[in-house]
Amino acid sequence: MERMRKIEIPIAENLGHGHLACAGCGAAVAMRLTLKALGEKTVMVFPASCWSIVPGFWPYSSYKITAVHAGFVTAAATASGVRAALDVRGENDTLVAVWAGDGGTFDIGIQALSGAAERNEDILYICNDNEGYMNTGTQRSSATPLMAWTTTTPVTQPKENPKKDIMAIMADHHIPYAATATIAYPEDLIRKLEKAKVIRGTRFIHLFSPCPPGWKMASEQTIKISRLAVRSRIFPLYEIENGRVYTIQEESRVVPVKGYLKLQGRFSHLSEKDIEITQKNVDDAWERLLRRARC
Amino acid sequence: MPQRSDLSQRGGEMKRVITGNQAVAYGVILSRVDVVSAYPITPQTTIVEELSELIASGRLKTKFLKVESEHSAMAALIGASTGGVRCFTATSSHGLAYMHEMLHWASGARLPIVMVNVNRAIGPPWNIWSDQSDSVSQRDTGWIQLYCENNQEVLDTIIQAYLIAETVKLPVMVVLDAFVLSHTAEPVEVPSIEEVDAFLPPFCADYAIDTQEPRAYSVITTPDYFMEFRYKIQKAMEEVPEVAKKVDDEFKARFGRGYGSIERYGKDEAEVLLMTSGTVTSTSRIVIKKLMEKGLSVAGVKMKRFRPFPSDEIYEVIQGAKKIAVIDRNLSAGVGGIFSQELRASLYLREQRPPVFGFVSGLGGRDITPELIEEAIQYTIENDRPKDEIVWLGLKR
Amino acid sequence: MPMIAVSAGDMAWNKTGAWRTQRPIYEDKTPPCSAACPAGNDIVKFIQKIEKEDFEGAWNIIKEESPFPGVCGRVCFHPCESKCNRGSFDEPIAIHALERFVADFGYGLNKKTAKLEEKNKEKVAIIGSGPAGMSCAYHLARLDYDVTVFESLPFAGGMLRLGIPSYRLPRDVLDRELSDIEALGVKIRTGVTLGEDIRLEDLKDHQAVFISTGAHKSRGLQIPGEREKGVLSGLDLLKRINLRKKVQLGDKIAVIGGGNTAMDVARSVIRMGKKATVLYRRSREEMPAFDEEILEALEEGVKIRYLVNPLRIGQKDGLKRIECLRMELGEKDESGRRRPIPIPNSNFRIDVDHVIVATGEEIEVSFLPEGLEKREGILLTRRDGSTGIKGIFAGGDLTSNQRTVAHAIGSGKKAAMAIDAFFKGKDPDVIFQNLIGEGPSLSIFNYLHPAERVRNPHVVAFEELNMDYFEPAKRQGESKISVKERIKGFKEVSSTLSEGVALEEAGRCFNCGTCNECEVCYVFCPDASILKREGLFSHQVDYDYCKGCGICFTECPRGAISLKEEEK
């Protein structure tokens, strides 16, 4: 049944306009939606990333919630400290969240994240994954996908290693909740954030955000590409509870990866063979996800 | 909050024979620290163990974050202090070095964190013994640095450190020697929690997190404004001598013990002064006494506060001295012992500029024996000016 | 200055709108259905009202442009559905069924159309009470003109009553829509024939005359035996059936022709308990009759023989003998259909009781005054329906070869607009500022309220929509009664949609080019620069902050946002 329906999202605008994100920034859509879901009773810790600059320069900030800028390495550790302080002061119902990029999560921040997860710190960690160090001009991170162009993986020697499976890593820390989400599915994202909000312990959201300049794509395609990522199974949507119980939000209209790759200049050097390999890797990864979900 | 229960009940006496690390633990408890975050490293480990036990036994309500590295330890405290609670960590050597980035952050964010650093050499070669190079290498990070001569001073300094930190809004590093203090038991008078409460009021931060007043912290700041923030830090440092004196005087009035920023001992108007810090001072006191009995015009200056460098206080006590010998248990390769360098710099613009003899000794825990100290003094007496920038004591040739 | 770098204000001072090189604008465009509707309905608008469960609102929308939703919802050939963009995704929307649903709902509420807020005093005479004439009367009466319709037959309705059987268009549906028009003050004088009972000169006290006498003469085959007994005109037969006159027919009937009239005749014959065989000279594809008509006819037992051309009609043993020739298809002719070519020596004979010829209609012009020109079977008029004689307008089947109910309704409306412009001394071309899309249909709502519902005439193509927001869903049209039931009599074959089904079907509409407040734009704007507003436009771009990224334009499921270059 198809009735005309609105996409329902919370009303509060907790990210003010006038911010410095590029036109069409996927992370800006993500941040705006996320802050709507998290609400005012939140302290958000954010390490170095585009979001050190985007909210604006002192004395101004587009954040309408409490936001604490932290050292690049330290997001999860700083958040652990904030959590401890709030608990000491009796503010147990204030949410402590982290907004870190893929660099600050997969690479330099992974120690702090792993430590916090192992201690099951009561924080909601959101990794905004745009698959590279975009703030510093598009260098590769361990979240950059195989064969992608970045400034440190030029076309003559594109990224040789596959993307790190951060969800598997987090699941194996046995944290109560981990989920993938992306901006083209706003209700799914908000549902997962609201679900995560009320769980105690370490919650991890892997949030996929296209980056027009870094991925060399047209700014108006941001949502489309996010959607294609899910439909092509490059970035499937699923949840893992307690490291064991998987719930996969299956997309009915599956498409080949080619359509996703062709829209992004960072993959324009891929040959037909490369695309075939990518398709095979995506298919294998999907199979692996299904297997892990079953056991 | 830590309960008053344990201490008075534990043996009944107020005076205990405890190691430096235990004294640290008591200092932390008495200061009603809310959040501790630490990572083990020899020779700090027993601080952490002591605190863990007290917290686990429920006698302390302090939250202890058992983080996975020192960098995270300081980061966690930065988070907690921004949250407006009193924080503590302890580390040493490599751990301190690992924290370096975060030390800058703590002072830049004006967070009154107190940290104990147990002076230990930084390798390689791998070495776990007493050496000041770790703490003095952090002298540019905007932390107040206070050095201790004995375990009593350690406990007392921690309590004073919180009051200083929370007044000037800068973090404080309390430093003690590895093993010599950390693992050596000495008699220490442990005040009661009520007495400390009367001295150290609860912490109320200026910009603590308040979700009803949403703010962004440590926002990116352009060249237009950054320097002014740094200026404020320098100004805060300039307030420290007065604040520290007031705190010390108050402490003395209540507890009967005061330390000053420096302490001069020995012959009045001596010709030769010996400047030392840490436990070397204890040994020096004996040497100075002995040499005074022999009729030599010698005196000692104990350096308690290293940052901010107590230029004025030092200048006052060196009136009349012809030469100053400094024993550094540290080395900044390429320039020499740091205390001696700082002293030379502080005298440069002054009227009286007695030559400063820079001695380096005791690195990596080598004992600085009374003989070596005497050797240094003798060298200073016998030479008008030092023959070398750096004079090495006890170096094996 | 505070001690630390804590924020003290927001970034609202930073008008990031200055970054733009392109700007999005909310711009309703023309949906292909509305562009294709000869009657000029605002289709998406009324469907949107249905979706909002504002059925009364939907009724009002339709009645702004056409007085005949109940009629069109049943008998229109729905070119809107052929152009419906949903057809490129799964199946087109059953627009006619929705129109019918709204009409029947309005009838259920006993709704009547209200007059508009105009005061006019001119008198207009309309000749012919078919869909063109009544549509013209309706719009003129709404504008407060004094309208009299002259109808030669005893009943109003024209082809609607005479040519279309009641199993397709029940009489009560026609009657209620006609009475809605009369309720506006239109006087209908039946039994008055132009040229016999009155002449044009008698109408001089009317400031304008609209002639819409239609095309009722049967075009014959021009073959021998056509004028003999036993060979009937299809139009005449339908007229007799629809006027409830007695009709005597033998058992086996042949119907010659391939249009709707032929189908209507054949199906009526079936309902009279007889056998009907349709003879058509081309194949199924070329048959001009509506597909549904053909399908229903076949279901009801009508036989169709394709590629058959009658040569002569003779007599044999009391039966009519039709001598036929088989045909094959050659190249396309001017109508775009493949030309039938006789196959030599393929003659054969069909014996039937009656032959009914339904091969087209022709206009009657004998009563028309001098100065009105006829050419190629139609009366010539200017683009706005005016003729060479000042004050005389014409429309409907009389003036066009596109002989459908919807075209007639649109033609009457156009004439009403032209007459209004004529009376008000406006430039006759002014009415063509109200084209829907590229035309030729017009919107009288637009004519009367120019700025209210502005639509870019660009017709939205399927490629301009975003299919990511739609899931395939089956089309739900009306249900039909069983064939057994149907052929028992002239009961209506199809039924009106239930409310639930109507809502579901309306929910499938893409709303091409028309904002329906789905808020996709609002959700995905990275700069929170889509503002929600009360009033005329539900959403507005905040140009102070919009960076022109184009996400709203790309994501809008219905292409209701345009992206234009920013002026320097």
Write out pLDDT tens, residues C450-490.
988 889 999 999 999 999 999 999 999 889 999 999 999 99
Interface of A with C in 171-190 (CB under 8 A): 183-184, 186
Domain ranges of chain B: 14-255, 262-392
- What are the pLDDT digits (tens) for C108-157? 888 888 889 889 999 999 999 999 999 999 999 999 999 999 999 999 99
Q: For each of chain A's 295 residues, which pLDDT tens digit applies?
A: 344 577 889 989 999 999 999 999 999 999 999 999 999 999 999 999 999 999 999 999 999 999 999 999 999 999 999 999 999 999 999 999 999 999 999 999 999 999 999 999 999 999 999 999 999 999 999 999 999 999 999 999 989 999 999 999 999 999 999 999 999 999 999 999 999 999 999 999 999 999 999 999 999 999 999 999 999 999 999 999 999 999 999 988 999 999 999 999 999 999 999 999 999 999 999 999 999 998 7
Query: Smallest Cβ distance to C549: which of A9, A184, A220?
Result: A220
CB contact at 8 A, C307 and C283 = yes
Q: Are B67 and A77 within 8 A, CB to CB?
A: yes
* Euclidean distance between CA atoms A183 and C419, whole angstroms: 56
Domains B14-255 and B262-392 share a fold: yes
Residues of A in contact with B221 (CB under 8 A): 57-58
Cross-chain residue pair B220–A53, CB shorter than 8 Å:
yes
Instruction: Please judge whether C5 and B207 are an interchain contact, meaning their C-beta atoms are less than 8 angstroms apart.
Output: no
Q: Report how many helices (DSSP H) and strands (DSSP E) chain C contains, helices first.
A: 18, 24
- CB contacts of A52 in chain B (<8 Å) are 220
CATH class (in words) of the domain with range B14-255 = alpha beta
Assigned CATH topology for domain B262-392:
Rossmann fold (3.40.50)
Decide if C520 touches A, using CB distance below 8 A.
yes
Q: Do C4 and B207 touch (CB under 8 A)?
A: yes
Contacts of C16 in chain A (CB under 8 A): 17-20
Whether residue A59 and residue C520 make contact (CB cut-off 8 A), yes or no, is no
Which member of A78, A86, A118 has the closest CB to residue B78?
A78
Closest CA to B64 of B32, B44, B95, B89: B89
Separation in Å, CA of C526 to nearest CA in chain B? 20
Whether residues B207 and C1 touch (CB distance < 8 A) is answered with: no
Q: Are the beta carbons of A59 and C507 separated by less than 8 Å?
A: no
For residue C369, the model assigns a pLDDT of 82
Tokens of A276: 């075939």
CA dist C238 and C261 (Å) reads 8
Integer Cα distance of B359 and A161 in angstroms: 54
Q: Give me the phi and psi of A138, to 5 degrees please.
A: 70, 60
Crossing angle of the two packed helices A75-88 and A110-118, in degrees rounded to 10: 40
Q: What is the pLDDT of residue C243?
A: 84
Residue given tokens 């709030």 in the structure block: A86
DSSP string, A57-95: STTB--BSSEEEE--GGGHHHHHHHHHHHHHHTT-TTSE
List CB contacts (< 8 A) between A61 and chain B: 215-216, 219
Q: 225-254 in A: which are within 8 Å (CB) of B? A: none
| Residue C365 pLDDT exceeds 90 | no
| Chain B neighbors of A63, CB-CB under 8 A | 214, 216
Q: Does A140 touch chain C (CB under 8 A)?
A: no
Q: Does C47 touch chain A (CB under 8 A)?
A: no
Residue numbers in C near B228 (CB within 8 A): 1
The average confidence (pLDDT) of chain B is: 93
Report cis status (omega within 30 of 0) of the bond before B125.
Answer: yes
Q: Who contacts B99 (Cβ-Cβ below 8 Å, separation ≥6)? A: B70, B71, B73, B74, B91
The span from the CA of B344 to the CA of B383, in Å, is 17
For domain A26-294, give the fold: Rossmann fold (3.40.50)
Mean pLDDT of chain C: 93
Those residues with Cβ within 8 angstroms of residue C227's Cβ, 6 or more apart along the chain or in another chain: none
Looking at the DSSP bridge assignments, the partners of residue C357 are C233, C256
* C519, C523, C548: residue with CB nearest A23: C548
DSSP A266: G
> Does residue C348 register a pLDDT over 70?
yes
Q: Which two tokens stand for residue B183?
A: 């693992």
Q: Of B381, B132, B374, nearest to B277 (Cα)?
A: B132
- Which among C1, C3, C5 has CB closest to B219? C5
3-state secondary structure C418-465: HHHHHHCCCCHHHHHHHECCCCCCECHHHHHCCCCCCCEEEECCHHHC
What local confidence, expressed as pLDDT, does residue C536 receive?
A: 59
The verdict on a CB contact (< 8 Å) between C518 and A5 is yes
Which chain B residue's Cα is nearest to A88?
B34
- Quick one: pLDDT at residue C535? 65
H-helix segments, A92-206: 110-118, 166-171, 186-197
Burial profile C352-383: b = 16 or more Cβ within 10 angstroms, e = fewer: bbbbbbbbbbebeeebbbeebeeeeebbebee
Distance in angstroms (rounded) separating the CA atoms of residues B282 and B286: 7
Q: Report which secondary-structure segment, H or E, holds B372.
A: helix B370-382
Which partners does chain A have (≥3 C-beta pairs < 8 Å)?
B, C
Closest to B267 in 3D by CA, of B233, B294, B238, B303: B294
- Two structure tokens written together for B195: 């007495």
Point out the residue among B65, B85, B221 whose CB comes nearest to the CB of A89: B85
| CB-closest option in B169, B215, B225 to C6 | B215
CB contact under 8 A, B85 and A84: yes
pLDDT at residue number C537:
65
Question: What residues of A are in contact with residue B89 (Cβ under 8 Å)?
Answer: none
Closest by CA to A254, choosing from A238, A234, A284, A275, is A234
Residues of B with CB under 8 A from a CB of A: 34-35, 37, 61, 63, 65-69, 71-73, 75-85, 87, 101-102, 105, 209-211, 214-222, 225
Which chain A residues contact residue B216 at CB under 8 A?
55, 61, 63, 66-69
* pLDDT at position C463: 96
pLDDT reading at C99 higher than 90: yes
Per cent of chain C over pLDDT 70 is 99
Set out the domains of chain C in order of their start, with CATH numbers. 16-27+515-565 (3.30.70.20), 29-111+457-507 (1.10.1060.10), 123-216+363-425 (3.50.50.60), 219-361 (3.50.50.60)
Angle between helices C95-108 and C43-51 (to 10 degrees): 60
DSSP string of B124-187?
SSP--S--THHHHTTTTSS-EEEE-SSHHHHHHHHHHHHHHHHHHT--EEEEEETTTTTT--EE
Q: How confident is the model at residue C322 (pLDDT cuts 50, 70, 90)?
A: very high
Q: Identify the CA nearest to A251 among candidates A288, A274, A276, A226.
A: A226
Per-residue burial over C111-131, b if 16 or more Cβ lie within 10 Å, else e, is: bebeebeeeeebbbbbbbbbb
Nearest-CB residue to B84 (from A60, A89, A118): A89
SS in 3 state form for B284-345?
HHHHHHHHHHCCCCEEEEEECEEECCCHHHHHHHCCCCCEEEEEECCCECCCECHHHHHHHH
* Secondary structure of C360-409 in HEC code, one letter for each residue: CEECCCCCCCCCCCEECCEECCCCCCECCCCCEEECHHHHCCCCCHHHHH
Does residue C368 have a pLDDT over 90? no
Cβ-contact C525, A23 below 8 angstroms? no
Distance CA(A57)–CA(A78), nearest Å, equals 22
Contacts of C8 in chain A (CB under 8 A): 59-60
Contact assessment for residue A205 and residue A26, using Cβ atoms and an 8 Å cutoff: no
In DSSP notation, C468-523 reads GG----------B--HHHHTTSS--SB-PPPHHHHHHHHHT---TTS-----HHHH
**Alpha carbon of C551 to those of A200, A223, C470, C517: distances in Å?**
36, 7, 18, 16
C564 DSSP β-pair partners: C23
pLDDT recorded at residue B59: 67
Give the best residue of B78, B107, B168, B206 to mutate against chain C (max C CB count within 10 A). Answer: B206
Report the half-sphere exposure of C491 (CA within 13 A, side-chain side).
12
pLDDT tens-digit series, residues B43-55: 999 999 999 888 8
| Residues of chain B positioned with their CB less than 8 A from the CB of A81 | 35, 37, 65, 75-83, 87
Q: Look at C4 and B218 and tell me if their CB atoms are within 8 Å.
A: yes
Q: C20, C549, C553: best mutation site toward chain A, by most A Cβ within 10 Å?
A: C549
Cβ-based interface (< 8 Å): residues of B facing C: 109-110, 169, 206-207, 215-219, 221, 225, 228-229, 232
Which segments in chain B show pLDDT lower than 70?
1-13, 59
- Say whether C6 and B216 touch across the interface (CB within 8 A): yes
More confident residue, C241 or B3: C241
Contact B75 A70 (CB under 8 A): yes
The residue type found at A235 is F
